[in-house]
């Protein structure tokens, strides 16, 4: 394809996109295809000769589109929203055309600086404390766009792990980092997203799940109890993940209580607000943020509810040097002459490298050896294995890694010998120019437009909730928050399971389930910014019709 054809076909594509979004209600939201359907429709080999664009695109329209779930549809209620918007699409179009990689400031200066600016804007709109912003060159705090919330959680855990290992190494100079690693433990609620468990698995650390209260919220007292009992066993609590807006029921951990416990025990506090974070643009929802100043890192997905298309996870840290120490590599091809002068996502200022967060972070003061009598001054008791039986609780969710090889045998370096090292904020090297679409959305909607969108989703969810509550056959077992309602048919779980299965098979609406302590529910999330009152009424009618059929089948 050359310039002339591109000008024509790309304009047609814009029309196709606008038609698609404008008429999305006409499409069945959930496809009626079976596994392998596309294999039967497309050739087994890639073409040898170039193909005409119109032929290629015909296949998109006829074969690909009918096999998609239409996430932008007002009748999409599964998972959480994954919204896009016209300014975001324009940002994605332009960034894919110029296709710059923003890994160092030098690799694309405006790309990096726009990311810093947009993240400062967004952090302020959310009401995050100044310590998370990066408005001064030597500020240790700052925001970075990660790919997903899962990645932000992993990055946070790895940074906290490095910090903990460095501090422990200082106290136990004779111990290898692999031995120290064996003593680390981290925490999240039993409602946390599976990505938190995954981060623990990748980080090779034990994870303990704190039982949430009747509102699915992790509370400080339970966390403290677990931490104290683990410390008594010689373990070192180093990281806690609090969730604001759980996946199952949009429940909120008590951030202030959890934060105070973390501060007390020098544990890094990460906040996963993947879905709910967007709501903090509205001051009326910020009570859930109370205590955020106690967090070390905070992440949410503008790619969920904020209409910035996937991928875009906004992550802020108070002390970016903890990230840099974790991902510290320094090949010659990434250095540039402005190293140390500009703030970017691999190269922080030299000052930032040595300066900790203004208020000195509490250091882990763990006396690992003394606590359980297994290790003394960094040396093993001769008749004991290094880490077996350190934790003999039978909680099935604890990750044992005692026998794993984790390649961490080298000693932790306490001081960075080369102040000119490159400072990394993320796992991959290459990074897309994602700030552009975020910046377009922030400017084109403005705070007022974004707040209107969030409030409208919440209003529509409340409308749906009222319809459910008015029907004697249904119930809502948990409190509904923000744009999600988890409902069920009264009686056996099997009724609600059948209802969901049949709704999804009909394809007019799409939803997924959740389970709270054995109670099966259907999650109904308001997703589209174009959802109307009538859409909600139509969805409810569909649900009522199918429920009546099921009750007739079962009870006659
Ligand atoms: N955390 C929470 C609370 C979530 O609800 C989700 C997904 O919905 C995630 C993390 C994972 O998000 P991502 O797909 O961006 O990794």
pLDDT in tens, 152-201: 999 999 999 989 998 888 888 888 878 888 999 999 999 999 999 999 99
pLDDT greater than 80 at residue 344: no
473-527 pLDDT, tens digit each: 999 999 999 999 999 999 999 999 999 999 999 999 999 999 988 999 999 999 9
296-309 pLDDT, tens digit each: 999 999 999 999 99
Which of 32, 143, 18, 145 shows the shortest CA–CA distance to 89? 18
Residue 30 Cβ < 6 Å to ligand 1: no
pLDDT greater than 50 at residue 420: no
Task: Please give the backbone phi and psi of residue 165, each rounded to the nearest 5 degrees, phi first.
Answer: -65, -40
Cβ-contact 451, 350 below 8 angstroms: no
Which whole number is the average pLDDT over 422-438? 76
Task: Tell me the pTM.
Answer: 0.85
Cβ-contact 311, 303 below 8 angstroms: yes
Helix (H) or strand (E) holding 118: helix 109-126
Which whole number is the average pLDDT over 115-129? 96
The C-alpha atoms of residue 238 and residue 199 are separated, in whole angstroms, by: 14
pLDDT band at 365 (very low <50, low <70, confident <90, very high): low
pLDDT greater than 70 at residue 126: yes
pLDDT band at 453 (very low <50, low <70, confident <90, very high): very high
CATH numbers and ranges of domains, the chain? 1-30+69-97+448-556 (3.90.1150.10), 127-329+342-378 (3.40.640.10)
Cβ-contact 199, 150 below 8 angstroms: yes
Residue 149 Cβ < 6 Å to ligand 1: yes
Cβ-contact 525, 245 below 8 angstroms: no
The C-alpha atoms of residue 496 and residue 502 are separated, in whole angstroms, by: 10
pLDDT band at 422 (very low <50, low <70, confident <90, very high): very low
Q: Which residue has a Cα nearest atom 12 of ligand 1?
A: 149
Angle at which helices 533-555 and 435-469 cross, to 10°: 50
pLDDT greater than 90 at residue 84: yes
Residue 78 Cβ < 6 Å to ligand 1: no
Structure confidence at residue 76 (pLDDT): 96
Which whole number is the average pLDDT over 142-155? 94
Structure confidence at residue 329 (pLDDT): 57
Structure confidence at residue 77 (pLDDT): 97
Structure confidence at residue 330 (pLDDT): 57
372-383 pLDDT, tens digit each: 333 333 333 333
Burial (CB count <10 Å: 0-12, 13-18, 19+), residue 375: buried
The rounded percent of the chain whose pLDDT value lies above 70 is 81
Compute the distance from residue 151 Cα to the ligand 1 centre, in Å: 10
pLDDT greater than 50 at residue 448: yes
Compute the distance from residue 274 Cα to the ligand 1 centre, in Å: 5
Q: Which atom of ligand 1 lies closest to the CA of 80?
A: 8
Residue 272 Cβ < 6 Å to ligand 1: yes
Burial (CB count <10 Å: 0-12, 13-18, 19+), residue 464: buried
pLDDT band at 363 (very low <50, low <70, confident <90, very high): low
Residue of 79, 149, 217 with the most ligand 1 atoms within 8 Å of its CB, for mutation? 149
Which whole number is the average pLDDT over 107-116? 89
Which whole number is the average pLDDT over 75-87? 96
Look over the chain and give the mean of its residue pLDDT values, rounded to a whole number.
Answer: 85
Compute the distance from residue 74 Cα to the ligand 1 centre, in Å: 21
Residue 270 Cβ < 6 Å to ligand 1: no
193-240 pLDDT, tens digit each: 999 999 999 999 999 999 999 999 999 999 999 999 999 999 999 999
Cβ-contact 105, 347 below 8 angstroms: yes
Which whole number is the average pLDDT over 430-449? 94
The C-alpha atoms of residue 453 and residue 460 are separated, in whole angstroms, by: 11
248-287 pLDDT, tens digit each: 999 999 999 999 999 999 999 999 999 999 999 999 999 9
527-546 pLDDT, tens digit each: 999 999 999 999 999 999 99
Compute the distance from residue 311 Cα to the ligand 1 centre, in Å: 12
Structure confidence at residue 379 (pLDDT): 33
Residue of 190, 193, 308 with the most ligand 1 atoms within 8 Å of its CB, for mutation? 193
280-298 pLDDT, tens digit each: 999 999 999 999 999 999 9
| Predicted complex: ipTM over 0.90 | yes
The rounded percent of the chain whose pLDDT value lies above 90 is 70
Structure confidence at residue 443 (pLDDT): 98
Compute the distance from residue 273 Cα to the ligand 1 centre, in Å: 8
């Amino acid at each position: 394809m050359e310039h002339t054809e591109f000008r024509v076909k790309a304009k047609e594509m814009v029309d196709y996109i606008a038609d698609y979004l404008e008429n999305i209600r006409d499409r069945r939201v959930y496809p009626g295809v079976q596994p392998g359907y596309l294999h039967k429709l497309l050739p087994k080999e890639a073409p040898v000769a170039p193909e005409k664009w119109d032929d290629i695109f015909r296949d998109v329209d006829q074969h690909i589109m009918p096999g998609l779930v239409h996430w932008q549809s007002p009748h999409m209620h599964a998972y959480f929203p994954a919204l896009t918007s016209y300014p975001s699409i324009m940002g994605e179009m332009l960034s894919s055309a110029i296709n710059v990689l923003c890994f160092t400031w030098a690799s694309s200066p405006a790309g990096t600086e726009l990311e810093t600016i947009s993240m400062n804007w967004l952090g302020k709109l959310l009401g995050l404390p100044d310590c998370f912003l990066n408005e001064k060159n030597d500020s240790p705090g700052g925001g970075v766009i990660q790919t997903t919330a899962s990645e932000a959680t992993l990055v946070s855990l790895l940074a906290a792990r490095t910090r903990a290992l460095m501090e422990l190494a200082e106290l136990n100079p004779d111990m290898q980092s692999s031995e120290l690693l064996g003593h680390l433990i981290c925490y999240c609620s039993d409602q946390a997203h599976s990505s938190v468990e995954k981060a623990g698995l990748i980080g090779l650390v034990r994870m303990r799940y704190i039982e949430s209260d009747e509102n699915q919220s992790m509370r400080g007292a339970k966390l403290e109890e677990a931490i104290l009992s683990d410390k008594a066993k010689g373990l070192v609590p180093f990281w806690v993940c609090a969730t604001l807006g759980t996946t199952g029921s949009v429940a909120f951990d008590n951030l202030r209580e959890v934060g105070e416990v973390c501060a007390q025990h020098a544990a890094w506090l990460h906040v996963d607000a993947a879905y709910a974070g967007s709501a903090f643009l509205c001051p009326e929802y910020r009570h859930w943020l109370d205590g955020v100043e106690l967090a070390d890192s905070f992440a949410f997905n503008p790619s969920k509810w904020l209409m910035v298309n996937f991928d875009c996870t906004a992550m802020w840290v108070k002390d970016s040097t903890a990230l840099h120490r974790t991902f510290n590599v320094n090949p010659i091809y990434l250095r540039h002459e402005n190293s140390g002068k500009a703030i970017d996502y691999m190269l922080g200022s030299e000052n930032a490298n040595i300066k900790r967060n203004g208020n000195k972070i509490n250091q882990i003061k763990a006396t690992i050896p003394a606590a359980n009598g297994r290790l003394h001054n960094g040396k093993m008791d001769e008749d004991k294995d290094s880490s077996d039986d350190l934790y003999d609780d039978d909680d099935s969710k604890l990750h044992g890694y005692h026998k794993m090889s984790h390649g961490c045998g080298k000693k932790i370096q306490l001081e960075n010998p080369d102040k000119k090292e490159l400072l990394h904020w993320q796992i991959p090297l290459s990074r897309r120019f994602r700030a552009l679409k975020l910046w377009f959305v922030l400017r084109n909607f403005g705070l007022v437009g974004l707040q209107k969108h969030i409030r409208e989703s919440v209003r529509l969810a409340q409308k749906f909730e009222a319809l459910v509550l008015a029907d004697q056959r249904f119930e809502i077992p948990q409190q509904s928050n923000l744009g999600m309602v988890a409902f069920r048919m009264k009686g056996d779980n099997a009724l609600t399971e059948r209802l969901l299965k049949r709704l999804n098979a009909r394809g007019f609406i799409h939803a997924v389930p959740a389970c709270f302590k054995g109670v099966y529910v259907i999650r109904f999330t308001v997703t589209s910014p174009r959802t109307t009152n009538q859409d909600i009424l139509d969805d409810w009618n569909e649900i009522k019709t199918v429920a009546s059929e099921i009750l007739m089948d079962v009870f006659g």
